[in-house]
């Protein structure tokens, strides 16, 4: 790998840990677009999932039992359906089309973050239920399969509950732990091996992607530690605005395919 790609991938993996620790708002949404720029869409999706699972494990330790576990029963049935739909769709898109889809998810997330306060200004806390949880779960499964980008949909379900910040972060960690583990078998198994249509046409996690994941793995616990440390000492307002600006530019790059490499020549 050339050094610009190494830097992009390294920062992305470090951001996994920082985001899983609850610092930086939508920082986690920046991970996949950066890795797509470094590796290409399908390879990036396969490399990131084991690293996201590792980040979940470290974050669960820091937020153990500080969550609302009842949200799982409302979201996970829909998540499973959404993942099955997502793996079928991934195989139907070219790398360029996947780049555009991931870029659009990034831009929609920035728009959601800018307008979310207005969206959830209504009085009274939302009581989670299956009627809302099922479609939100399906949306999470599809977007998570495409871009590990289910954060906006999860936030739309969790934020109206008006949970304390620590409980909100802990609940998000718990939900995404299950989401990522649900995705693992669908990403690891090639449809032709079991002749079952629910799996992807080609396995996204391969020995080669696992080797790359292992090389970047040490940055995950480092990022979690850094995120916990930042959460205790710094306001994230300015940091979050910078992240949204970077995410906006990255999303536009994936959609418009600018020649960023020319900047490093």
Return d(Cα 16, Cα 221) in angstroms, integer: 9
Q: How far is CA 209 from CA 29, 92, 155, 213, 214, in A?
A: 20, 21, 29, 6, 9
Write down the domain spans for the chain. Answer: 3-264
Whether residue 40 contacts residue 69, with contact meaning beta carbons closer than 8 Å, is answered with no
Q: How many CB atoms lie within 10 A of CB 48?
A: 30
Return d(Cα 235, Cα 232) in angstroms, integer: 9
pLDDT tens, position by position, 92-148: 777 787 778 777 887 877 777 777 666 666 555 677 888 889 999 999 998 888 777
Positions of the chain with pLDDT lower than 70, given as ranges: 1, 22-26, 116-125, 191-202, 234-236, 239-240, 258-265
Instruction: Please report the beta strands in 98-216, taking only residues with DSSP state E, as ranges in sequence order.
Output: none
Return d(Cα 108, Cα 258) in angstroms, integer: 20
* pLDDT at site 61: 84
Whether residue 67 contacts residue 14, with contact meaning beta carbons closer than 8 Å, is answered with no
What is the residue whose two structure tokens read 């960023």?
260
Q: Return the SS3 of 201.
A: coil
* pLDDT at site 120: 61
* pLDDT at site 159: 79
* pLDDT at site 164: 84
Polymer length of the chain? 265
What is the residue whose two structure tokens read 């198994």?
189
Q: The tokens of 200 are what?
A: 């992807």
Contacts of 85 (CB under 8 A, 6+ apart): 138, 141, 142, 145
Phi, psi (deg, nearest 5) at residue 136: -65, -40
In angstroms, the first-to-last Cα distance of the chain is 15
* pLDDT at site 172: 87
Whether residue 137 contacts residue 82, with contact meaning beta carbons closer than 8 Å, is answered with yes
Q: The tokens of 14 are what?
A: 């470090």
């Amino acid at each position: 790998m050339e050094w610009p790609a190494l830097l992009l991938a390294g920062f992305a993996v470090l951001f996994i840990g920082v985001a899983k620790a609850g610092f930086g708002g939508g920082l986690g949404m920046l991970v996949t677009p950066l890795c797509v720029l470094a590796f290409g869409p399908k390879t990036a999706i396969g490399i990131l999932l084991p690293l996201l699972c590792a980040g979940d494990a470290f974050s669960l330790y820091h937020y153990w039992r500080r969550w609302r576990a009842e949200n799982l029963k409302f979201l996970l049935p829909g998540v499973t359906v959404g993942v099955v739909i997502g793996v079928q769709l991934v195989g139907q898109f070219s790398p360029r089309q996947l780049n555009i889809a991931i870029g659009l998810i990034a831009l929609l997330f920035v728009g959601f973050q800018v307008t979310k306060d207005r969206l959830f200004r209504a009085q009274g806390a939302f009581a989670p239920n299956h009627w809302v949880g099922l479609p939100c779960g399906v949306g999470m499964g599809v977007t998570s399969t495409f871009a590990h980008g289910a954060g906006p949909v999860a936030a739309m379900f969790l934020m109206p509950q008006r949970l304390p910040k620590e409980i909100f972060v802990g609940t998000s960690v718990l939900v995404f732990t299950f989401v990522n583990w649900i995705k693992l078998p669908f990403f690891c198994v090639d449809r032709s091996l079991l002749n079952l249509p629910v799996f992807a046409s080609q396995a996204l996690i391969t020995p080669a992607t696992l080797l790359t994941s292992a090389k970047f793995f040490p940055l995950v616990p480092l990022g979690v530690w850094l995120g916990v440390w930042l959460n205790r000492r710094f306001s994230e307002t300015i940091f979050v605005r910078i992240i949204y600006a970077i995410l906006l530019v990255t999303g536009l790059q994936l959609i418009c395919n600018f020649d960023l490499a020319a900047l490093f020549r």
